[in-house]
Amino acid sequence: MGLGVVAVPRPRAKSYNDFVRPRKISPPSSSSSFPKTPRRISIPSVFQLRLQKDLPLRLQRKSKMSQPPSPPSSPKRSHPGGDDRQPKKPKTDKDLSARFDGLKPNIKPFTEKVASLAGMKRSFEPEADENDFYAHRSKLIKLDHSNAHPLTNKVRTADRIAMIKRKRSLALTLKNDVSKMPAAAQDGLGNFTGAICYRIALVQALVHIPQFVNWLHDYHTPDNCVVDDPSNCFACVFRKLLGSYWSLNTEAKITNNIFKSLHLLLKRRGWNHNGQGDPADQLTFFFRLLREDLPTSVFNMIDSLFRIYDKRQKTPCPCGEISASDDDHTQIEVGMAPKEKHGDLIRYIARGLATKLDDYRCDSCRKVEKRILTVKFEHAPEVLAIQFNLQDYLGRKLKSNVNIPTTIDLTAFKARESTDPRRFTYEIMSVVQHSGSDNAGHYVCSAEGPDGQWKLFNDSSCHGNRVGAVVNGFSPVLCFFRRTRDV
């Protein structure tokens, strides 16, 4: 009996797809006696399997070596370069040091990069590898005099000096004339709600500043108002109040009606203090409304009358880091806690201009040490507003018995960068005083009249008073000084 030939199928080789997604092999068909010859499948090498194994899991599931990669979803990005269009090239920063601007000479490349973001700079992590992706994570750091380029500091200093000179010339254009302020017209204002004595005291202090009265009378006329509704313009209503207050032919009832319209305007514009308020906060709110309602050229005149420019510098760190900055504001805040025995106003001001910083972290060496923040005046305003903080560290009100001098000299706190040749000497104009607790109490105002006589304004009453005298039982919360003309 001869031997027959029997075809034996080859075993199917396992491919890479069997590792990813096992394929179910169908049984041979019953119509044919022999199964179909399996197709040839290229077995991936060990090196290819290792590369796919090193991929993240989400890429392993989507990867198929036997199929070409799917085209991108965006036709613009997948354009091969036809039709005279070149394919997009990846953005590379091969020469980052050439793009860096504003660096100090001793800073290594890949360390800092200045961005055009007002007062901010973009910084890379130091000691980073150029090809390390995670080393290019950026953070925002404040740009000040200590870490900016020397040329940048020179340009900023020159611009600041020019701006201060413009402010000084604007403030000197305002007349210190009392011809529009007859002394016989002085009177009180009615406290029609019972809780606006703080506003009455502040308004009395402002209407007794000759530069403020002349500015509002001469530079803000109804024809120059840019607000659609003059009844909703703070400058227009306050100008009408000034005209009625200093008029000898106007009755007190008309002045109080205008004061009521000012009260309603403040509520419409966002002042939501139903009870007792703070005169310093009310003054800040007044300036905000003037900035919103007036043209910039007109507002800059009254802003230059109160604006203070100073230099702030911390004691140098042992590593050589010097932190300095510039600041400007319209009021000087004097803390009365802790109280000093026989302390005068100059001593409290000097203590507030040298603040101790216990836990200050250096921006360069990152060490936490004690520092002292020193403030020097680069520009002194024509009208100086001093706010007294009468709260201690626990929030309790202090009954301060500080004496308010008739004249003060702040020349000792003058910055060496100042270009003002005059001395920083001032004389008292008005004092806003308070009696009671923080949430309740009463405010009065003592002010110098156009005839040089001092009067005490207590709501609707008005009677004589001594120069800068603080009423018994009251504490000063806000003082206004005018600068002397002595060179």
The span from the CA of 292 to the CA of 303, in Å, is 13
CATH architecture of 181-300: Alpha-Beta Complex (3.90)
For the segment 331-357, the average pLDDT, to the nearest whole number, is 85
pLDDT at 245: 94
- Residue 452 Rama label (left phi>0; alpha psi -120 to 50; beta): left
- Look at residue 137 and tell me whether its pLDDT is greater than 70: no
Least confident span in 146-150, 302-306, 358-362:
146-150
pLDDT at 447: 92
pLDDT at 152: 80
pLDDT at 368: 85
The span from the CA of 406 to the CA of 481, in Å, is 9
The span from the CA of 378 to the CA of 328, in Å, is 10
- Look at residue 440 and tell me whether its pLDDT is greater than 60: yes
Residue 357 neighbours by CB under 8 Å, 6+ apart: 314, 370, 371, 372, 373
Using pLDDT thresholds of 50, 70 and 90, give the confidence band for residue 188: very high
Residue intervals of the chain classified under CATH 3.90.70.10 are 181-300
- Look at residue 317 and tell me whether its pLDDT is greater than 90: no
On whether the CB atoms of residues 483 and 429 are closer than 8 A, the answer is: no
Over the stretch 200-246, which tens digit does the pLDDT of each residue have? 999 999 999 999 999 999 998 888 788 888 889 999 999 999 999 99
Owner of token pair 């179910």: 24
The span from the CA of 93 to the CA of 413, in Å, is 49
pLDDT at 124: 39
In DSSP terms, 386 is beta-bridged to 332, 479
The span from the CA of 59 to the CA of 201, in Å, is 74
Name the packing angle between helices 279-293 and 197-207 (round to 10°): 60
pLDDT at 117: 38
Least confident span in 258-262, 415-419, 434-438:
434-438
Residue 1 neighbours by CB under 8 Å, 6+ apart: none
For the segment 113-129, the average pLDDT, to the nearest whole number, is 41
Residue 154 neighbours by CB under 8 Å, 6+ apart: none
**Number of residues written out for the chain:** 487
- Look at residue 73 and tell me whether its pLDDT is greater than 80: no
Using pLDDT thresholds of 50, 70 and 90, give the confidence band for residue 286: very high
pLDDT at 486: 63
Least confident span in 51-55, 74-78, 182-186:
74-78
pLDDT at 472: 64
- What percentage of residues in the chain have a pLDDT greater than 90? 34
Name the token pair of 309. Answer: 């420019």
